[in-house]
Structures are given as structure tokens and as C-alpha cells.
Structure 1
Amino acid sequence: MEQRIIIEMGMGNDLHGMDYQKAAARAIEDAIRHSTLPIFESLELPHTDMRLKVTIGAQEPDKIDADALKSGLPRGHAVLSAVKGGLNVPNPETGETAVVATAAVEAFLPTQKGKWKMQ
């Protein structure tokens, strides 16, 4: 049994290249840069106990290389999926399209119930 210990949201974009991979990587980075998990050091838990579930939203999810994005995550065992979402913003003056991707990064640990208590 697992418990979700954190969920972070992020947004990333590629303004000129329509690079969904770049936008997705930036969205993940945005999400994880807003969090820290001191529980590992405080309770002497190994980081390998953590499972990450990363969901990327992009207008063309088939252009996302999940394995490449997983390699950029700092710790834990990651499962990454790409779904239809995000936003494409066309610029009719230049013909370019800005790509916006979103990321939800969820971290799970084995149930800690009964193993520790806060004081």
C-alpha cells in the first residue's frame, strides 16, 4: 500500500520551435523546483522507496519521449505518461506556434502509518 506524499504542478513552454519535448521538460522542472522532501533525511528513508507518477499534458502527446524525460528526474522510480492537454498558441503574423505543456508530479511512499509520529 502506498500514500501520496506530495503533488506539484508545473508549466513549461517552447516559444519558437514547437518542441513539445522541451516544453514538457520545462514543465517538469517547474513542478519539482517548488518542492523539497525532507522526510527522507528526517526519517532516514531511502530515496529508492519513492515512486513518481508524472503526467504531461501537451497538444501532441505522441511527440513526448517519456524515457528521455524520466532520465532527468533526480530520484525515485518514475512512471511518466503524456496525455492530450496543454496549449498551442499560433501567431498569425509570424506563422510560429508557441507550445505550452503542463506537468503533474506526484510522489508516493509505502504506507508510513504507525512507523513514526509528529511531536
Structure 2
Amino acid sequence: MSDQRFIIEMGMGNDQYGMDYTKAAARAIEDAIRHSSIPLFDATGLSHDAMRVQVTVGVAEPDKVDCAALIASLPRGRAEVKAVEGGLNVVNPDSGNTLVIATAAVEAFLPKQT
């Protein structure tokens, strides 16, 4: 039986001073799920453990993202996080500081219901 996607949320986050790609990615994920409420579980009696959560974060330097830390921060479901090239780095010409911008897509899947 294959999974069926029932939610996709997008978000954006940044780290303005530390060039911390994991922090920017965490903020993008939080932005994506902050306004979501899924009454499906209460309405059907399904366990949150039945849900597979797939997160893709885009940052300029994906190898600097701690995907395990991001998985640990997700509140529900069986999560997987993948970092890919994307997002944006913006250099402040006055200070030389680099602002890291991350994007995130958070998708939720359940086994097909009959």
C-alpha cells in the first residue's frame, strides 16, 4: 500500500548574524507548520505515528545543515529531512555579515485509506 500526500506547507526562515544554516532551516520549518492544524487525527482516531513527514530545506550550503537536529525538532510523525541547494545568502555591504535565508517544504503522508 503506498502513501498518499495530504499536506504540503512552505516556509522561509533566516539567520541574520551567525551564518547558521541549521537555525535558518529550523525557522523555515517552523514558519511552514506554525499555522497548521490537522484535525484529521482526532476525527479519525489515526495515530500520529501513521504519518510520514518529509521535509526538504533549501540553503546555499546544504552540507552545513544538521538534518538530525531538525528531525528531532519536528513535533509529529516519522520524519525525514533532506537539505538541498537553494535558499540565498545576502552579504551586508556595510558590515560584511552574511544573512542566510532558507526555504522549506514540509509534506505529510498517510497510508491510503479505504
TM-score, with structure 1 as normaliser: 0.93
- Percent identity for Structure 1 against Structure 2: 65
1:107 matched to 2:108: yes
Structure 1 unpaired stretches of 5+: 115-119
Q: Secondary structure at the match of 1:23?
A: helix
1:2 matched to 2:3: yes
1:1-119 to 2 correspondences below 5 Å: 1-112=2-113, 114=114
TM-score, with structure 2 as normaliser: 0.97
**Contact 1:58–1:102 (8 Å) recurs in 2:** yes
* Equivalent position amino acid for 1:3 in 2: Q
Compute the RMSD of aligned alpha carbons.
Answer: 0.6
* Deviation (angstroms), 1:43: 0.3
Q: Deviations over 1:70-96 (max 9, x none)?
A: 000001001110000000010111010
Q: Deviations over 1:11-36 (max 9, x none)?
A: 00001111111100100000011211
**1:117 aligned residue:** none
Q: Deviations over 1:42-95 (max 9, x none)?
A: 000000000000000000000001011000000100111000000001011101
- Structure 1 residue runs of 4+, over 4 Å off? none
* Deviation (angstroms), 1:40: 0.4
Q: Distance in 2 between matches of 1:62 and 1:24?
A: 12
Larger Rg: 1
